[in-house]
Amino acid sequence: MTTPADSNGRKVTSLREMPQSIEPARDLWPGIEAQLGELPEGAASGGTVPARRRGQPLRWLAAAAMLASVALGVWIGRSLLPGTAGIGTPQVSANRTAVPPLAPTALDAAYVSDPRYAQQRAALVQALQARLAALPPPARAKVSASLAAIEQAKQDLEEALGRDPGNALLQELLVNTYQDEMRVLTDVHEASDPGRGI
Amino acid sequence: MAHAQAEETRVDWEAALVQRARAGDRRAFERLYREHVGRVYGLCLRMTRDAQLAEDCTQETFINAWRALGKFETRSTLSTWLHRIAVNVSLAKRRKSGPVEAPPEEEEGGGAEWTLETPVEVQEIEGAIGELPEGARDALVLHALYGYSHGEAAQMLGIAEGTCKAQLHRARKLLRERLAVEVN
């Protein structure tokens, strides 16, 4: 039985003062991650049946807003930021040293501040109303609800960052939320294209 | 005040991470893992008394948590939920490796604080806890170290509350003998 290193020699007068946390001798995450890779898709949500199969054709769109971060990062890397994947927002990069190294971070940080991203987003937002009008009313309502939820999340995170600007986790969540928004906008754009149903 | 606000913000991040992990975001789940692994491993180690087995239990806990994240109700704390899974996993692993002991009958009458008459080194206490019979150790670890109520500890261990209290009574008595101090 091992005890935490900083507990050696420390005396306590109550069992509640005993350390609750003991770090394992090695990083267990790689083993966990490898096994997550073997699980069927959707395992994280309890093996939910895909919405399309339940006869709710566009429900996936709202879920896609949350699912899309990594895929979208790759997409943006290809289509918006050729050759800029290594550039990071200095504030974000500086703070990432305080948290475990997780991929892909520099791209995340770079794209939201890139003018090409802003242009692309502005174009999608401008076309949004016309695109939404092309969708069936239930789909339109769901997309609008998703975008409203994302907008609220952005505001909450920006507010939280105002109070704690150096917080790397909040920064990452904000970047992810921007990615989610971009994904929904892109999906709406593609879904309302003639000949490309959702 | 500042501490409460920090805790609230932490819980908010956690809720956001849980939401993202539910949607399949492994990076978010890794964050949750890093936040909670120490408490999960600490519990598994104390229940199994074997570092290798505790590592296995910890990994299995997080894999099971990933699978069941859709069922996690955000009104309970993630930490408690992970502990429930960790207890189940540890008990199952232990059952595979040996017979289950019969529970004692006398019920615990002492307080919930588990204070020691004189200060004792953490390592010495860990050693004494490690020597307790499994049932008594489980109840003590959950109740006295991690602060779960008799009812919660009993539920996590899948035993009656009276049995849990009896195990705690036995744990207190044995701990008193092994540490040679009064345990109140």
pLDDT tens for each residue of B32-80: 999 999 999 999 999 999 999 999 999 999 999 999 998 888 767 899 9
pLDDT level of residue B3 (50, 70, 90 thresholds)? low
- Residues of chain A neighbouring B38 (CB-CB closer than 8 A): 20-23
Residues 8-67 of A with CB under 8 A from B: 8-16, 18-26, 28-29, 31-33, 35-36, 39, 41-48, 63, 66-67
Q: Is residue A33 part of a domain?
A: no
Average pLDDT, chain A: 64
- The pLDDT score that the predictor gives to residue B102 is 58
Q: Is residue A4 part of a domain?
A: no
Average pLDDT, chain B: 87
Interval B25-45: pLDDT, tens: 999 999 999 999 999 999 999
- Kindly report which listed range (A100-104, B84-88, B103-107, B110-114) carries the lowest average pLDDT score: A100-104
pLDDT mean over B151-155: 94
pLDDT mean over A50-57: 36
What residues contact residue B16 under an 8 Å CB cut-off, 6+ apart?
Answer: A153, A173, B28
Domains and CATH numbers, chain B: 2-97 (1.10.1740.10), 122-179 (1.10.10.10)
Q: DSSP letter string over A58-73?
A: THHHHHHHHH-HHHHH
Contact by Cβ (8 Å): A169, B11: no
Q: Is residue A76 part of a domain?
A: yes
Q: Which residue has the higher pLDDT, B96 or B52?
A: B52
CB contact under 8 A, A66 and B19: yes
ipTM, interface predicted TM-score of the complex: 0.83
- The pLDDT score that the predictor gives to residue A25 is 95
Q: Is residue A130 part of a domain?
A: yes
Residue of B nearest to A157 (CA): B13
- The pLDDT score that the predictor gives to residue B123 is 92
CB contact under 8 A, B122 and A19: yes
Q: Which residue has the tokens 């408490």?
A: B39
CA distance A5 to chain B (A): 10
pLDDT mean over A70-85: 40
Domain tally for chain A?
1
Determine the longest span between alpha carbons in chain A, in angstroms: 73
Rounded to an integer, what distance in angstroms lies between the CA atom of residue A114 and that of residue A47? 37
Highest mean pLDDT of the ranges A40-49, B53-62, B173-182: B53-62
CB contact under 8 A, B42 and A28: no
User: Please, which residues bridge with residue B116 across strands?
Assistant: B183
Q: Which residue has the higher pLDDT, A91 or B113?
A: B113
Query: How many residues are listed for chain A in this entry?
Result: 198
Task: Check pLDDT > 90 for residue A196.
Answer: no
Locate A77 and state its tokens.
């890397």
Domain that holds residue A161: 60-191
Q: Is residue A167 part of a domain?
A: yes
Q: Is residue A13 part of a domain?
A: no
Residues 62-81 of A with CB under 8 A from B: 63, 66-67, 69-70
- Start-to-end CA span in chain B (Å): 32
CB contact under 8 A, A20 and B42: yes
- Tally Cβ neighbours within 10 Å of residue A122: 10
CA distance B104 to chain A (A): 22
Q: What percent helix, strand, coil does chain A show, rounded to 5? A: 65, 0, 35
Q: Which residue has the tokens 């239990």?
A: B57
Q: Is residue A69 part of a domain?
A: yes
pLDDT mean over A72-77: 41
CB contact under 8 A, A21 and B146: no
* A170/B contact by beta carbon, under 8 A: yes
Q: Is residue A55 part of a domain?
A: no
∠ CA B111-B114-B117 to the nearest 5 degrees? Answer: 110
Interface A:B, Cβ pairs < 8 A: 168
Contact by Cβ (8 Å): B122, B154: no
Contact by Cβ (8 Å): B84, B156: yes
Q: Is the dihedral of CA B148, B152, B154, B160 positive or negative?
A: positive
Alpha helical stretches, state H, chain B: 2-22, 26-48, 51-68, 78-97, 122-130, 134-140, 150-157, 161-179
Interval A124-165: pLDDT, tens: 888 888 888 877 777 788 788 778 777 877 777 777 777 666
- The pLDDT score that the predictor gives to residue B125 is 93
- The pLDDT score that the predictor gives to residue A30 is 95
Of B19, B51, B146, the CB nearest to A20: B146
